[in-house]
Amino acid sequence: MSDLHVPRCEQVQRFLKRESLAGLLISNPRNVTYLTGFTGDDSYLLVTQSKRILISDFRFIIQLAEECPDIEVEIRSTGQTIGDAVGGLVGRLKLGRVGFEAGHLTVAQRDALAERMSAVDLVGTTGVVEQLRMVKDKHEIELLRRAVRVAEQAIGVMVASLRGELSELQVAHELENQIRLFGGSGCSFAPIVAVGERAALPHCPPGKKRIGEREFVLIDWGATYQGYRSDLTRVYVTGKISPKLRRIYKVVLQAQRRAIEAIRPGVSLEAVDAAARTVIEKAGFGKYFGHGLGHGIGLDIHESPRMAVGQKQTLSAGMVVTVEPGIYLPDWGGVRIEDDVLVTRRGHEVLSSVSKELDECVIS
């Protein structure tokens, strides 16, 4: 376990003391990675008030030694389920009250654990590690910067080589190829490439429609770099800029700028959302912006916090969020502009730098 992960586990241990828990069973793979550095799967982490033990299996013995050599490991035997291994470990440690991640274990998994630990009081917890993950440390911020940079390098090559006969799906595949060539481990998520009217679908799956069939294409993409994920969206013009596209694009860009200007510590999530939403509503497109303004990014592409109507929580320095207002018109298309933004001590920093001026997004 590196110097990065020890303080994170210590925060969990402070939670155990506050809640009078003997231990917390971490089953969400992303949370296991966050607390240990281990990137494999099918493994649980048990944090007690004095120990940190990874429960895994034979497949990961070497990987565990490489990624987190200083952590205690319990390797379950062949034929032994992870529930059996957890039950045996908790029994040996004589733990009486153990928390589990209620948002990750299924009811069947929870019940199976309860059967194996009949003498243990299992307590459901929610968002313990996710709350810690909201505020990024310097190392995480650097990895997110790299993830943004890889995504930008990939789109630069992709846009330079766009041809009208390419399909949405071909563009998506080539984006992933470029991301890997520039050092990413892959896409943050399946890229969204939507031509013309298909851009009215906020999460349009790429299909066979050709890039040159309409005047613009919306591309939503991101790169994964050492586990951390970026998330960007741009609209590229493949024909002439129509007055309608120019008008709608101007509204969305203004909405995004207003929202970014509002980002600083202490501002509520709903207030940032409102800064963008008000611009779109005043322009007469309020009913065509039906999703939240943005979300946190990190080890997951969607993680806390969430900027949306009714979200009272406030921003803190170290949070990294997307800002992605959009207008989606059925039978015409949609415009979304998205950047990744770091909340700093005095305000904010936009991590992404791909041009979003419409006249600079025209592909000849």
Tens digits of residue pLDDT in 264-317? 999 999 999 999 999 999 999 999 999 999 999 999 999 999 999 999 999 999
Write down how long the chain is. 364
Mean pLDDT of 49-53: 95
Domain 138-360, CATH among 3.30.1330.10, 3.90.230.10, 3.40.50.300, 3.40.50.720: 3.90.230.10
Domain with CATH 3.90.230.10 in the chain: 138-360
223-225 β-sheet, strand order: 186-187, 223-225, 228-229
Token digits of residue 77? 């035997």
Kind and range of the H or E run holding 55: strand 52-56
336 Cβ neighbours under 8 A, 6+ residues apart: 199, 202, 218, 220, 233, 235, 252, 324, 325, 326, 328
Q: Find out whether 225 and 150 touch, Cβ atoms under 8 Å.
A: yes
Residue 60 CA: distances (Å) to CA of 24, 36, 52, 66? 22, 14, 17, 10
325 Cβ neighbours under 8 A, 6+ residues apart: 252, 255, 256, 259, 276, 277, 279, 280, 289, 293, 336, 337
How far is 192 from 248, CA to CA, in rounded Å? 20
Q: What is the pLDDT of residue 3?
A: 81
How many degrees, rounded to 5, is the angle at CA 319 between CA 227 and CA 126? 75
E strands, 57-178, where?
Answer: 72-75, 97-101, 121-125
Q: Find out whether 75 and 61 touch, Cβ atoms under 8 Å.
A: yes
Token digits of residue 186? 């892959």
Q: Find out whether 312 and 328 touch, Cβ atoms under 8 Å.
A: no
Q: Sorting pLDDT into bands at 50, 70 and 90, what band is 1?
A: low
Token digits of residue 269? 């999530």
SS3 301: coil
Q: What is the pLDDT of residue 364?
A: 73
How far is 264 from 344, CA to CA, in rounded Å? 7
Least trusted range by pLDDT, from 75-89, 170-184, 219-233 = 75-89
Q: Following DSSP, what letter does each residue of 183-208 receive, concatenated?
A: T-SEESSPPEEEEGGGGGSTTPPP-S
How far is 93 from 241, CA to CA, in rounded Å? 68
- Closest residue by Cα to residue 113 from 28, 124, 71: 124
Contacts from 76-82 at CB under 8 Å and sequence distance 24+?
81/112, 82/42, 82/43, 82/44, 82/55, 82/57
For residue range 103-162, list pLDDT tens digits in order: 999 999 999 999 999 889 999 999 999 999 999 999 999 999 999 999 999 999 999 999
Q: Find out whether 232 and 148 touch, Cβ atoms under 8 Å.
A: yes
Q: Find out whether 232 and 222 touch, Cβ atoms under 8 Å.
A: yes
SS3 24: strand
Q: Find out whether 109 and 83 touch, Cβ atoms under 8 Å.
A: yes
Mean pLDDT of 216-243: 97
How far is 248 from 327, CA to CA, in rounded Å? 7
- CA-based radius of gyration for the chain: 23
Q: What is the pLDDT of residue 326?
A: 98
How far is 143 from 138, CA to CA, in rounded Å? 9
For residue range 323-358, list pLDDT tens digits in order: 999 999 999 999 999 999 999 999 999 999 999 999
How many degrees, rounded to 5, is the angle at CA 305 between CA 147 and CA 141? 30
Helices 243-262, 269-282: crossing angle, 10 deg rounding = 160
Q: What is the pLDDT of residue 37?
A: 96
The sign of the torsion formed by the CA atoms of 17, 23, 27, 33 equals: positive
Average pLDDT, the chain: 96
Domain with CATH 3.40.350.10 in the chain: 5-133
CATH domain 5-133 topology: Creatine Amidinohydrolase; Chain A, domain 1 (3.40.350)
Q: Model pTM? A: 0.95
